[in-house]
């Protein structure tokens, strides 16, 4: 696997659109059930804890960090997704709002490096914003914990009188392909553990 580049992201999604990393809004290719790296994806048996079951994944998954609720966000500023050649995804639910989504993506040439740059760039551009309905924030809390490059992103959003929501995104690059993994209502340590398990699979 050393000859490939892999980016692994474990992303915790919130329920409100426009205030979080989104699953649509880029020109990236659609995620296919038959794409490359199928054997590399974790299965429900690989996710720590009991009771995980498969759930559906959108065909057009897009970029996880397409934060359209941010007023300065523009997809054209983040070019790596236009060079994503192949992708495969899986998602699992444990109930009570706990979900994990995983995406493995193949990038052309050195675009996996740019994918990591794009994540850092969008977080720097949109660390905190209010879309008129939700106050959202995204911060990089840790780096260099796995693979050739990695990030741990904390995201929070507050909507009116509703309880604040927090989610974590672990992004790991290794070698010349790209991957994205997603989870909801998990702790930072749980997300990191899943990310490390996915790295070990590659």
The string of pLDDT tens digits covering residues 117-147 is: 999 999 999 999 999 999 999 999 999 998 8
Which pLDDT score, from 0 to 100, does residue 166 have? 87
pLDDT of residue 24: 36
Predicted local distance difference test score (pLDDT) of residue 182: 74
For the stretch 171-200, pLDDT in tens is 888 877 767 777 788 999 999 999 888 878
Backbone angles phi, psi at 81, to 5 degrees: -60, -25
Question: What is the average pLDDT score of the chain?
Answer: 80
Q: So where are the chain's domains?
A: 6-201
pLDDT at 52: 95
The better pLDDT of the pair 80, 200 is held by: 80
What are the φ/ψ torsions at residue 69 (nearest 5 degrees)? -70, -15
pLDDT at 16 over 80: no
pLDDT band at 39 (very low <50, low <70, confident <90, very high): low
The pTM (predicted TM-score) of the whole model is 0.81
6-201 folds as: Protein Transport Mog1p; Chain A (3.40.1000)
**DSSP E strand boundaries for 30-97:** 53-55, 84-95
pLDDT computed for residue 178 by the predictor? 67
Token digits of residue 54: 């498969």
How many Cα atoms sit within 13 Å of 57 on the Cβ side?
Answer: 26
200 membership: H or E segment, kind and range: helix 188-201
Mean pLDDT of 18-44: 53
Query: Which 3 state secondary structure label does DSSP give 83?
Result: helix
Q: What is the mean pLDDT of residues 167-174?
A: 86
pLDDT greater than 50 at residue 21: no
Identify the CA nearest to 134 among candidates 70, 46, 42.
70
Predicted pLDDT at 172: 87
């Amino acid at each position: 696997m050393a000859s490939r580049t892999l980016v692994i992201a474990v992303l915790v999604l919130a329920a409100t659109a426009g205030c979080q990393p989104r699953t649509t809004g880029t020109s990236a290719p659609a995620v296919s059930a038959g794409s490359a790296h199928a054997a590399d994806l974790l299965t429900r048996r690989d996710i720590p804890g009991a009771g995980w079951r498969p759930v559906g994944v959108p065909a057009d998954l897009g970029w996880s960090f397409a934060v359209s609720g941010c007023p300065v966000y523009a997809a054209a500023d983040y070019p790596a997704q236009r060079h994503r050649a192949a992708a495969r995804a899986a998602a699992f639910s444990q109930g009570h709002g706990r979900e994990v989504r995983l995406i493995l993506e193949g990038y052309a040439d050195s675009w996996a490096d740019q994918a990591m740059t794009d994540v850092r760039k969008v977080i720097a551009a949109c660390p905190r914003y209010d879309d008129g309905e939700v106050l959202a924030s995204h911060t990089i809390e840790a780096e260099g914990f796995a693979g050739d490059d990695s990030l741990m992103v904390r995201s929070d959003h507050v909507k009116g009188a509703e309880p604040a929501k927090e989610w974590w995104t672990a992004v790991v690059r290794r070698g010349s392909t790209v991957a994205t993994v997603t989870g909801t209502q998990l702790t930072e340590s749980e997300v990191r553990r899943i990310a490390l398990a996915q790295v070990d699979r590659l």
